[in-house]
Structure 1
Amino acid sequence: MAKDMTVMTPERQEKAVEMTNSQENQPYLYPQQPGQPSQPAQLGQPAAAYPSPAFPGNQPQPPKKPQGTTICGIIGLIFGLLGFVLSFIPIINNLAAILGVIGVILALVGIIGTFRGKKKGKVLSIVAAAFSVLAIVITFSMQAAAGKALDDLSGAGSADAGSASSQQSSSKAAKPSESKQAGTQDLEGDLKSAHVKIVSAVRSDKDYNGMPTVLVTCQWKNNTDKNNSFMIIVNAQAFQQGQALDTAIYTSNPAGYDANSALAEVQPGATGTATIGYVLSDDSAVSVELTDQFSLDDSLKVSHTFKL
């Protein structure tokens, strides 16, 4: 049997070409989203682009707030304060310098953390760094002054050795009251590097810890050939029942107390006044002793016992 065949006339071919061209010129319509009104596509205009979905990573993130206060700054402040307090005490201020160095390192770590916005406490870290640096500077200054005092004492010792023979020859003729007394002297006397006098020892205000204190006042004369301070050349101690008393630290200066008086330098031959506070352990009498700061022989001293 002969198969039916559709004969393509010229009119049908022309219509097929027109339909193909019209389909190529129409824009592509994206699928309609649920809940959106349908919009008819207009010929000759591009279809609206389908919006891209919003992902969490494309949204702007708010700036992170600092989390808590810097721990390094707090610890650095504690080390700096301890070093600052201990830097005024001879020998012990070696530990103060170490605390100051550790405090500076911790304070710098805290400052860097606050600048990066991770922690709070920028001012605290800066204060910690300041106290730590002061502890180091004061420690080195005290040790330099102590070294200078040792040099003065060594020079005075050589001079005393040169005049020892002349003093021995005249000591037999001199009266005991006119010669330089060796041993314990009451209230006033001469040390190797200073002439000292214990003026008074009276009750004073409570210290920072609420403990009772006694305020000791001394007058002294610089017998060295260089500028010196009372604390550098004189070792002042107070005792109760044979036990040494701790140095008092005041939150506010009581009447008659000058915190800088023991550190103030005077010229050779000049006199000065030093006030030192001590923490009382009970109501018993207080014995005050003054000796040379850097001397292995404490037999030459000035002392007196005060009843409070």
Structure 2
Amino acid sequence: MKKNKKVLIGLMVAGVSVMAVACGDSSSTTDTKKETKEKAPTEQVKKNEAKIPTDNGDLGKYHVAIQDFTLAQDYNGADVGIVQYEFINNSDKNAMFMIATQAKVFQNGITLESAVMTEDGYNDQSTDIQPGATIVVKVPYKLQDTSTPVSVEVKQSFGIGKDVLKKEFTLQ
């Protein structure tokens, strides 16, 4: 019984010691935080300068280029815009454009829906490519009109990474 009391008292002393250290003088921590805060604006400016929007670049382990935009019509005769992307798989596993990236196309500030085409060559976005391979992907989108500019944004899927590729196409 006495042995248990000694162990219990020892644990309590150790716990109090840990709490005392944790609640101790925080002036050195505060100074460190102040130094970090003072450095942050400079680092932020450098990050903003380096992040100029571009239409091609690396998104994680993939390289994507927003290449071209053409007008067409879908199976119903509705106006469609076809965005052409180049997708390079620099990872060590097979990858698909539609899984590895998140491509969005906007017109008048609103996301355009994917269109269905009857011709071949518009389902390459779901083609698996091996590491080191390159594929040109053409994705059709339903247009609101054929005169307003269309903007394209591509980023890595699943919210990984903060890089966004952008390109705007004038339709007339």
TM-score by length of 2: 0.65
Q: Retained in 2: the 8 A contact 1:285–1:306?
A: yes
Q: 1:194 to 1:296 in 2, by over 3 A?
A: closer
Structure possessing the higher radius of gyration over alpha carbons: 1
1: CA distance, partners of 2:123 / 2:129: 13
The CA distance in 2 between the partners of 1:199 and 1:306, in whole Å, is 10
Question: Whose helix proportion is higher, 1 or 2?
Answer: 1
Q: Is the contact made by 1:193 and 1:233 (CA closer than 8 Å) also made in structure 2?
A: no
Q: Which residue of 1 aligns with 2:67?
A: 199
Cα separation, partners in 2 of 1:182 and 1:207, compared to 1, 3 Å: farther
- SS of 1:224 mapped into structure 2: coil
Q: In structure 1, what is the Cα distance between the partners aligned to 2:123 and 2:67? A: 18
Q: Runs of 5+ in structure 2 lacking a partner?
A: 1-42
Tell me the distance in 2 between the aligned counterparts of 1:289 and 1:184: 14
C-alpha deviations, 1:246-278, integer Å up to 9, x for none? Answer: 10112x21xxx6133111111112211111000
1:185 partner SS = coil
2:97 — aligned with what? 230
**Does the 8 Å contact 1:197/1:219 carry over to 2?**
yes
Q: 2:98 is paired with a residue of what secondary structure?
A: helix
Partner AA of 1:241 in structure 2:
N
| Cα displacement (A) at 1:292 | 0.8
Counterpart AA for 1:271: T
Q: Following TM superposition, by how much is the alpha carbon of 1:223 offset from its aligned partner in structure 2, in angstroms? A: 2.1
Change (3 A) 1:184 1:248: farther
8 Å CA contact 2:83–2:139 kept in 1: the answer is: yes
CA distance in 1, matches of 2:61, 2:159: 10
Work out whether 1:277 is the aligned partner of 2:140: yes
1:203 and 1:225 mapped to 2: Cα distance?
35
Map residues 44-193 of structure 1 onto 2, 5 A cutoff: 183=51, 185-193=53-61
Offset from partner CA, 1:41-80 (integer Å, 9 cap, x none): xxxxxxxxxxxxxxxxxxxxxxxxxxxxxxxxxxxxxxxx
With CA pairs under 8 Å and 6+ residues apart, which has the higher RCO, 1 or 2? 2
Large movers: runs of 4+ above 2 Å: 181-185
Which residue number corresponds to residue 37 of structure 1? none
Q: Unpaired runs of 5+ in structure 1? A: 1-171
CA contact (8 A) 1:184 1:301 kept: no
Instruction: State how far apart, in whole Å, the 1-side matches of 2:105 and 2:127 are.
Output: 21
